[in-house]
Amino acid sequence: MEFIPRLHDSFVRNLFNTMKILSSLIFGLFNFIPFVVLSQSFPVGHRTMNFTDPARNNRSVPSEVYYPGVTAGDNATAADGAFPVISFGHGFLMNYDSYLYLKDSLVPRGYIIVFTKTETGISPNHLEYGKDLAFLVVQMQTEGNSPSSPFYNHIDTTSAIMGHSMGGGASFLACENNPVPTVMVTFAAAETTPSAILAATEITIPALVFSADKDCVSPPAQNQLPMYDSLASDCKVFINIKGGGHCYFADYNFQCSLGEIGCQQNFTITREEQHKTTLDFLIPYLNYYLKKDDSSWVIFNDSLANSSRITYMKSCTTTGITNFPERKPFVVFPNPATGQVTIISDDRNEKINGIVIHSLTGMIVPGKYTLSAIGTDRELIDVSELQHGFYFLEVEGTHYKVTFKLVKN
């Protein structure tokens, strides 16, 4: 007779446990929905377009346009929303199809990339090439305002001019005395005629200059460093990728690889590794400036300070951020951590009022990890139960909310 109640108790316990699991899954799903929406991935649409610049005797500017689509493929309908435009310039004797890794990484994240196909020959006109890059930004904004365009109401007000090698140098020419683009980003930029180094003195928009320390085609000391030093931007950043090469900023291209054949044996990273490093910095940089995502500036600067893959320089008199200061008012140590972590206010006017740990996907990590009283200038937390990996530690103070990257060993 005791068998029946025991069976009943077991059934109830199993049912209760099942309901707990289902509740957790449902609760987790609702918590996860905002992140899914924020990180929406778009299919890649594509159009071949030939624009005409009436200001330069109707110069033809053939272009390949990749954009977030409702579906993937040629002439697909653009997805709902307005997206930032990136005008991209290729390297010497190269073309747009050497940079499709950028298309594959940026377009699904909600960017439009326009690749110009001009100046692909043996005697390129750098000045006209720079004008092409600048023209495409304005032209795409015009497309966004034209009811007859497939991009009507799909073009955001923010934009970037980017380029590699010769296209990087031409980007300097495009941005000289040009306040229309929001930012400029260059990869192993090469000196041009007229001089990109001289043009930099008249560039005031924010700029990110990439180089690779094994570049023997466009060595940083003679090209990107003088360009960076000459920039008049209120905020400029120089990133040098350790062990990388000139052509590794692109997909494989025979002509480019032929030009650096004498130094390829010096590379200590692969093309894929250089792509990953480039994108790890490029994406948060663009997200901050073109999508106005303040948290991306925190991630970008934290990566600058902590990445062993690069060396960098930065000169920023202002970033426009009010809640993420350049000088963080808190100190976190040890980091990496194994057990307990101490957080200290580095400002006598700042008290620690809240601590939250997020996973890399943005989800709050549950747990009672705070060990000491909130509202003081020193707090102790316990991270011993966290799995090994990377986290974001958010510290809310009296005046600031600051995010740190936390490494759990």
In the three-class reduction of DSSP (H, G, I as helix; E, B as strand; rest coil), residue 212 is classed as strand
Q: What is the arithmetic mean of pLDDT over 228-239? A: 96
> Both tokens of residue 66?
């990749």
**Mean pLDDT of all residues in 283-305:** 93
Give the separation between CA 287 and CA 279, rounded to whole angstroms.
12
Please check the confidence at residue 163 and state whether its pLDDT lies above 80.
yes
Residue range 18-52, pLDDT digits in tens = 444 444 433 333 333 333 333 579 999 999 999 99
Query: Among 1-5, 167-171, 198-202, whose mean pLDDT is lowest?
Result: 1-5
Domains annotated on the chain, with CATH = 44-316 (3.40.50.1820), 330-408 (2.60.40)
More confidently predicted of 328 and 42: 42
d(CA 109, CA 303): 20
* CA-wise closest residue to 251 among 57, 68, 100, 106: 100
Residues 358-408: tens digit of each pLDDT: 876 567 888 777 766 677 788 888 888 888 887 888 888 887 777 777 888
Q: In this predicted structure, what is the pLDDT of residue 264?
A: 87
Q: Note whether 395 and 402 are within 8 A (CB).
A: yes
Separation of alpha carbons 165 and 223, rounded Å: 10
CA distance 156 to 153: 8
**What secondary structure letter does DSSP report for 39?**
T
Mean pLDDT of 53-66: 97
Segment 225-244 mean pLDDT = 96
Q: What is the mean pLDDT of the chain?
A: 86
Share above pLDDT 70 across residues of the chain, in percent, rounded to a whole number: 85
Residue 358 burial (C-beta neighbours within 10 Å; 0-12, 13-18, 19+) = middle
Q: What is the per-residue pLDDT for 401?
A: 73
Q: Could you tell me where the DSSP H helices lie in 217-336?
A: 224-230, 254-259, 271-291, 294-306
- What is the structure's pLDDT at 322? 43
Q: What pLDDT digit, counting tens, does each position of 243-278 carry?
A: 999 999 999 999 999 999 988 889 999 999 999 999
Range 139-148 average pLDDT? 96
* pLDDT at residue 320 is higher than 90: no
Instruction: Report the C-alpha dihedral over residues 226, 247, 308, 324, rounded to 10 degrees.
Output: 60
Sign of the torsion angle spanned by Cα atoms 28, 30, 36, 38: negative
Share of the chain above pLDDT 90, in %: 65
- The tokens describing 326, both together, are 């350049």
Q: What is the DSSP string of 105-154?
A: HHGGGT-EEEEE----SSS--HHHHHHHHHHHHHHHHHHHT-TTSTTTT-
Alpha-carbon distance values, 393 to 32, 84, 303 (Å): 19, 30, 14
Q: In this predicted model, what pLDDT tens digit does every residue of 74-116 receive, in sequence order?
A: 999 999 999 999 999 999 999 999 999 999 999 999 999 999 9
Q: How far apart are CA 281 and CA 303, in angstroms?
A: 8
Mean pLDDT over residues 147-159, rounded?
Answer: 97
The band of 329, judged by pLDDT with boundaries at 50, 70 and 90, is confident
